[in-house]
Structure 1
Amino acid sequence: MARAGRSPWRYGVPVVCLCAGLLLATTHTVSGGSEIRRSDAPRLVDLVRDAQASVDDLAAQRERLVDEVDNHHGGSPSASAALAAITGRADALSADAGLEAEHGPGLVVTLNDAQRDAEGRFPGDASADDLVVHQQDIEAVLNAMWSAGAEAIQMQDQRIISTSAPLCVGNTLLLNGRTYSPPYVMTAIGDASAMQAALATSPMVELYKRYVLRFGLGYTEERTTDATVAAHPPAVRMRYAKPAGPLGY
C-alpha cells in the first residue's frame, strides 16, 4: 500500500511560530520593555496644536509691542504731523546743508607736492616739510573760497560740508575717513572772479605761493563754466549739536 503524502502544515507551523517569536523579540527591544501604545504618549496632532498656540501668543505679543511703538512714535495724529514737519524742513534745508549735487560756473584750484627738477633733485636748502602740501594750505584755499561766497565745494571726490575736516597724516590727506594723495583738487561753484580775488589777498595762500616759487610746490587756478559738485552721502551724523531756537511745532 502506498504511503500517504506528508501535510505541508507539518513544516509551516514551526516556521510561523519562529517568525512570531522574532517579531515579539524585536518589539520588546525597540520599546525598551514598555508599552508601545501608551495612553499618555503625545500625539502628533497635540504637538501641532501646542506649537500653533505658541505662535498665536507670540503674534499677539508682537502686535501689542507694535501698537506701543506706534503710540510713542508717529501713532497719533499730532506725532505724525510733527514727523511730517521735521521731514519737510529737512528736505527744504538739504540743498543749503550741501546734501544735493550741484553744477554751475566756478573755479578749480589744485595743490601738489614739489616735484624733482630735470636732474632729479630738490632744492638744496629745502627740508622735508617745505616740499609737501600741509593741512593749513588746504584750509587756506577752502576758507578763501567760502569767504568769497562759494555756493558749494568739493575736494577730490567728496563734498565739503560743515562737518567736513580735511586732516593731513604724513604726506596724505584724511577726509571723512578716506585717505588721498596729492595732487589735491578743490572745485568750487560760485563767482570765479571773487574767489580768485579772495585767494590773491589771503595771507596763508600768499605764503604758500612763495613756497611754490622757491621750492617748486604745485598751484594752479582754472576757471570753468560748468563745474560739478557731488552730493554728500546720506546719514549725516552730528556729534556735537544743540537747538538754535524753537522748532515752531
Structure 2
Amino acid sequence: MSGSPRQVRRNPVPSLLKSLMTEHLDPGYAGAANDRDQGHSKPTRVAAGVWIALGALLIGLVFGIAYAQATAGAPDASQERSEMLSKVRAAEERGRSLATNRDELTSRADEQRASALAGDAQGAEVLGQLRLLEAGAATEPVHGPGLVVTLTDLAARPDLSDSSQRVPGSPKAGVLDRDLQSVVNALWASGAEAVAVGDVRVGPAVTIRQAGGAMLVDNQPVPSPYRVSAIGPPGKLQTGFVVSDAFLRMSAVRDLYGVGFSIAETDDLSLPAAAGREIRFAQETGAP
C-alpha cells in the first residue's frame, strides 16, 4: 500500500490557556494604567467619603427641618383641639340649660293655662280638647301598663376570617335602624297608646336612623340595648306583636346572628314627653 502518511489532527489549544501562557499581566491593569496616564483616574477613597458625608448631611438636614416643623405645629394642633372640645362642652352645657329653662317655662305656662280655663264650662271644654291634642302629639309625659321589647347588639362581632362564623350575604351582624323602625311600627299597629325608644319619646316627625355606628332617635344617640317601651293593654299588645312581621323578622335575626331580642310585660311604664316642634303649616282634615 502506497501513499502519503495520514496527518493526525491534534486538539487545538484553547485561547484562554494560550493567553495565560503568553500574557502574564491582566489587560485590566494595562487599561487602568492608561487611564491614569490620561488623567481619567477614579476618585480616591477620601473623595468618595467626602461625597457620602455630604449626602448624609443633606438627608439629615431635610429630616431635621421636617421634624422641627412637625414639633412646631403639634402645640398649635393640640391647642386648637382643646379649644374645639371646650366649645363643644360649652354648647352642650348651654343646650342642657336651655332645655331645663324650657321645661320650667312649659310647666308654668300649663299651670297658668289650667287656672285660666278651668273657671267655667267653656274653658274646661277647651282645656280638655287641648289635653287630647297634646296626648296625640306626645308633648306630655304618660305612665301606665304596657310592653317592653329589648334589642341588643352583639357583645363581640364575629370573626370574619373564620369561615364557620361567616354568614353569606350578611356584611353586618347587629341591630339596624330598620329593625327598630319595624318594631315601633308593629307596636303602634298592635294598639300602643305611647311609644319610646330608650329615653326618647316617639311622636310625630320623629325619625329613627343610623349615623355611622350610632343609633339616633329624634337626632339623639341611644345606646344598646335598645329598649322599646309601649303603653297600652299588655295582653293586646303582645298578641298583636307576636303575629307581626317585625316579630318574625327579629326572631330570624336572633336565631341567625345571635342578636338579643326579648319581650316583657310590665305593670307601670313612665314615658317622657316628646320635644315640642314649631308648627309652620297646619291643615284641618275630616268633616267640619
TM norm. shorter chain > 0.5? yes
| Alignment equivalent of 1:99, drawn from 119, 139, 147 | 139
Mark the CA change 1:101 to 1:147 in structure 2 (over 3 Å): closer, same or farther.
same
The 1-side partners of 2:216 and 2:269 are apart by 24
> How many equivalent pairs are there?
164
| Alignment equivalent of 1:142, drawn from 161, 179, 184 | 184
Mark the CA change 1:118 to 1:171 in structure 2 (over 3 Å): closer, same or farther.
closer
Q: What are the Cα deviations for residues 141-168 of structure 1, in whole angstroms up to 9, with x where unaligned?
A: 1111111111111111111112211112
> Is 1:243 matched with 2:247?
no
Mark the CA change 1:207 to 1:177 in structure 2 (over 3 Å): closer, same or farther.
closer
Contiguous gaps of at least 5 residues in structure 1: 1-84
Contiguous gaps of at least 5 residues in structure 2: 1-124
**8 Å contact 1:126–1:215 — kept in the other structure?**
no
The 1-side partners of 2:128 and 2:145 are apart by 29
TM-score between the two structures when normalised by the length of structure 2: 0.49
SS at match of 2:144: strand
Q: What are the Cα deviations for residues 19-67 of structure 1, in whole angstroms up to 9, with x where unaligned?
A: xxxxxxxxxxxxxxxxxxxxxxxxxxxxxxxxxxxxxxxxxxxxxxxxx
CA displacement at 1:86 relative to structure 2: 8.2
The 1-side partners of 2:171 and 2:144 are apart by 36
For 1:209, the equivalent position in structure 2 comes to: 251
CA displacement at 1:198 relative to structure 2: 2.3
SS at match of 2:253: helix
Mapping for residues 31-50 of structure 1, pairs under 5 Å: none
Mapping for residues 43-192 of structure 1, pairs under 5 Å: 89-116=129-156, 123-125=165-167, 129-192=171-234
For 2:241, the equivalent position in structure 1 comes to: 199
Task: Give % identity.
Answer: 27
CA displacement at 1:174 relative to structure 2: 1.5
Aligned-partner residue type, residue 184 of structure 1? Y
Mark the CA change 1:240 to 1:126 in structure 2 (over 3 Å): closer, same or farther.
farther
The 2-side partners of 1:105 and 1:88 are apart by 23
The 2-side partners of 1:101 and 1:208 are apart by 29
The 2-side partners of 1:175 and 1:90 are apart by 26
**8 Å contact 1:114–1:217 — kept in the other structure?**
yes
The 1-side partners of 2:236 and 2:242 are apart by 10
The 1-side partners of 2:154 and 2:168 are apart by 10
The 2-side partners of 1:91 and 1:153 are apart by 18
For 1:219, the equivalent position in structure 2 comes to: 261
Q: Which has the higher contact order (CA 8 A, sep 6+)?
A: 1
The 1-side partners of 2:171 and 2:151 are apart by 15
Aligned-partner residue type, residue 216 of structure 1? G
The 1-side partners of 2:247 and 2:132 are apart by 35
Q: What are the Cα deviations for residues 170-220 of structure 1, in whole angstroms up to 9, with x where unaligned?
A: 332112221223211111111222222222222233122112012101111
**8 Å contact 1:112–1:133 — kept in the other structure?**
yes
TM-score between the two structures when normalised by the length of structure 1: 0.56
Mark the CA change 1:216 to 1:189 in structure 2 (over 3 Å): closer, same or farther.
same
The 1-side partners of 2:223 and 2:169 are apart by 20
CA displacement at 1:243 relative to structure 2: 3.0
The 2-side partners of 1:203 and 1:143 are apart by 10
Aligned-partner residue type, residue 160 of structure 1? V
CA displacement at 1:134 relative to structure 2: 1.1
